[in-house]
Amino acid sequence: MEPNTLLDSVLDEAGISHAGLAAHINEAGRARGMTLRYEHTAVARWLKGQRPRGHVPDLICEVLGERLRRALTLDDIGLGTPGSPRAPATPLSGFVERATALWRSDEQQRPHVIAAPAVTGTSAVIPVWEWENPPEDSDVSRHGLTRVSMSDIEMLRAARAHYEQLYRKAGGVATRARVVGFLNAETAPLLRGSYPDETGRQLHRATGGLVAIAGICAYDSDAHGLAQRYFHQALRLAKASGDRGLGAYVIALLVNQSLFLREYRQAVAFAESALRAAGTQITPALAADLYAMQAKAYARLGDGTGALACIRRAETAADRIRPGQEPDETGYVQPGLVNVQVAEALLSLGDLGGAREHATAAVGTPAHDRGRVHRLAMLTHIELRTGDADRAGATAVEMTERARGMESQRLRDRLRAVREHLVASGCAATNEAAELIDGALRVPL
C-alpha cells in the first residue's frame, strides 16, 4: 500500500483539512440518501493508500472539484481503477503529475509519505521489469506554458552535480530538503512545460539524475519507502530519456538499498537486469560496481562460487575504467571502491586475509570524506577480527574524525557498528576510540 500523494496534493491545493473533507463527504452522501460517518482518521487512511469504499471516491471528486472549480477524475486524486483508461494526453503526463505530487508532499514533510515502508515482492520488481521491457516511449514531447530550452537542461545538470557534492560533504539529511525544494521550484514547471521530443528526452534524463540524488538523500535519512519511490521515478525518467546507462545507474542504487534491507536475492536479480538490459551502454565503472555488489549479495547467501566469479568480473571491469570517459553519475566509483566492496564480500566468506588486503588497498587510495569513512569502518572491523586491536583503535579514531559534521543516518549506523565491535573486543587500546564515537553519536541530526 503506497501513500496517495495525488490526493494529498489536491487537498492541499483546495485548502481543506482532513476533518473538513470528511464532513463534506458525509453531507454529499446525505444528499444522495447515504448515511456516512467519516472522520479525519478515515481521510488519513486514504492518504496512506487505503481505497475508500463504494461511491466515496466519486464523492471526493465532487467535493474537491467544487472547491477548485474544475472537474476532477478518479485518476486526478489517485483513486483510478487499476487498468482503467486514462484521459488522452502525452504518455508521461500521468507520471509527471504523480511524481511532482510526491515532491510536494516530501517538501511539506507529510508523515504518511516520509514514514512509508519500502515495498517488497512484486511491487518492488515491477518498475525494474517495466524499465527493461517494451514498450518504449515513442514520443515524449509536450505542450505547456513554459518553453524548455537547453539552458534549462544545463541548469538541471549543474544542480545535480552541486547536490551530489553537498551530499558527499554534509550528508543526506542536510541535503534532502534542498534538492527536493529545487525539484518543486525549478524542475516541476519544466516537466509541465513545452518541448519537442529531442529536448524532452534530454530534460527527462537531467531530471532523472536529480531525482536519483533525492532518493539517495532519502535513503541516507532512513526514509526507505520514500527513497525507493524516488528511485522508481528516476528509472521511469531514464526510460523516457532512452538512456539505458542512466537506468542501469538507478538500478545500482536499488541494488545498494536491497543489500541494506537484506534482500540479497533481489539485489542479485536487479544487478543482473541492469547488466543485461544496458548492454553496450553500461560503462566499466558501473559494471564494476554492479558486479561487486552482486558479489556481496552472493556472499551473504553463502554462495562462494557465485561471489568469487563476480569479484573477478568486478576487478576486470575496474581495470577498464578510464577517467573522463564516464558519465557524471558514475563519478562515485572512485579508485578503491571495488576494493572495499570485495573486502566486505570476502569477510562474509571468512577470508580474513584477502579481506584485509583489499580493505587496506581501499584506504590507501584517495576518496571523498564520505567514502573514506566507510572504508575506514570496514578496515577497523577487519583489523579487530584479525586480532590487531591497537591498529583498529587508531583506524577508528581517524574514521570518527572524518565523519564529524556529516548528517547521515548511514554513517551513524557505521559508527554504531564499529563502536559495538570495539567494545566487544574488550581491549584497552580500543576504549579511546569507542569513547570518541560515543561523543560523535551524541550530536543530534
Which DSSP state fits 187? Answer: I
- Residues of the chain with pLDDT > 90, as a percent, come to 75
Which residues lie below 8 Å from residue 309, measured CB to CB, with a gap of 6+? none
Both 98 and 236 in one domain: the answer is: yes
In this prediction, residues 417-432 reach a mean pLDDT of: 88
Domain final residue pick, 180, 213, 242: 242
How far, in Å, CA of 122 to CA of 164, rounded?
31
- Asked if residue 218 is part of any domain, the answer here is yes
- Under 8 Å between Cβ of 147 and 195: yes
Per-residue pLDDT at 55: 84
| Residue 18 lies inside a defined structural domain of this protein | yes
Distant-in-sequence, close-in-space partners of 354: CB < 8 Å, separation ≥ 6: 343, 346
CATH code at 351?
1.25.40.10
Termini Cα distance of the chain: 29
Q: Both 47 and 98 in a single domain?
A: no
Other CB atoms within 10 A of residue 15 CB: 9
Q: Is residue 132 part of a domain?
A: yes
Q: Hunting for cell 571495488 — which residue is that? A: 338
Q: What is the pLDDT of residue 112?
A: 86
Q: What is the model's pLDDT at position 11?
A: 85
pLDDT confidence of residue 82: 53
Question: What's the pLDDT tens digit per position in 205-245?
Answer: 999 999 999 999 999 999 999 999 999 999 999 999 999 99
Averaged over 105-129, what is the pLDDT? 91
In degrees, rounded to 5, the angle at the alpha carbon of residue 234 between the alpha carbons of residues 153 and 86 is: 100
Which pLDDT band holds residue 91 (cuts at 50, 70, 90)?
A: low
The answer on 384 and 329 residing in a single domain is no
Residue 327 lies in a domain: yes
HSE-CB at 87 with a 13 A cutoff on CA atoms is 9
Mean pLDDT, rounded, for 143-162: 96
**What does the alpha-carbon distance between residue 396 and residue 373 come to, in Å, rounded to a whole number?**
9
Q: Is 436 part of a structural domain of the chain?
A: yes
Q: Are residues 315 and 422 in the same domain?
A: no
In contact, 229 and 217? CB cutoff 8 Å: no
Exposed/middle/buried for 324, CB within 10 Å: 0-12, 13-18, 19+?
Answer: exposed
Confidence of residue 444 (pLDDT cuts 50, 70, 90): confident
> Same domain for 188 and 291?
no
- Do 19 and 37 share a domain, yes or no? yes
What pLDDT is stored for residue 92 in this prediction?
Answer: 75
Residue 10 pLDDT exceeds 60: yes
If asked whether residues 262 and 304 sit together in one domain, one would say: yes
Write down the pLDDT at residue 88.
Answer: 37
Domain membership of residue 363 (yes or no) is no
Q: What is the pLDDT of residue 425?
A: 87
What's residue 218's pLDDT?
A: 98
Helical axes 224-241 vs 93-107, angle rounded to 10°: 150
Domain range for 16 is 5-84
pLDDT in tens, 243-263: 999 999 999 999 999 999 999
Res 428: pLDDT: 78
**Domain boundary at 192, 208, 242, which?**
242
Per-residue pLDDT tens for 290-328? 999 999 999 999 999 999 999 999 999 999 999 889 999
- Do 328 and 393 share a domain, yes or no? no
Q: What value does the mean pLDDT take over residues 176-191?
A: 96
The answer to whether residues 232 and 129 belong to one domain is yes
- Among 41, 67, 84, give the residue marking a domain's end: 84
Average pLDDT, the chain: 92
The reply to whether 208 falls in a domain is yes
Omega prior to 52 cis, within 30 of 0:
no
> Does the pLDDT value for residue 331 go beyond 80?
yes
222 within a domain of the structure (yes/no): yes
pLDDT band at residue 13 using 50, 70 and 90 as cut-offs? confident
Q: pLDDT category, 46, cuts 50, 70, 90?
A: very high
Bridge partners (DSSP) of residue 195 are 142
Count up the domains in the chain and report the number: 4
Q: 49 and 191 in one domain?
A: no
Q: What are the pLDDT digits (tens) for 49-84? A: 899 988 899 899 889 988 887 878 888 888 886 544
Least reliable range by pLDDT among 95-109, 197-211, 336-350 = 95-109
Lowest mean pLDDT among 13-17, 337-341, 408-412: 13-17
Instruction: Check whether residue 223 and residue 97 sit in a common domain.
Output: yes
Together in a domain, 71 and 210:
no
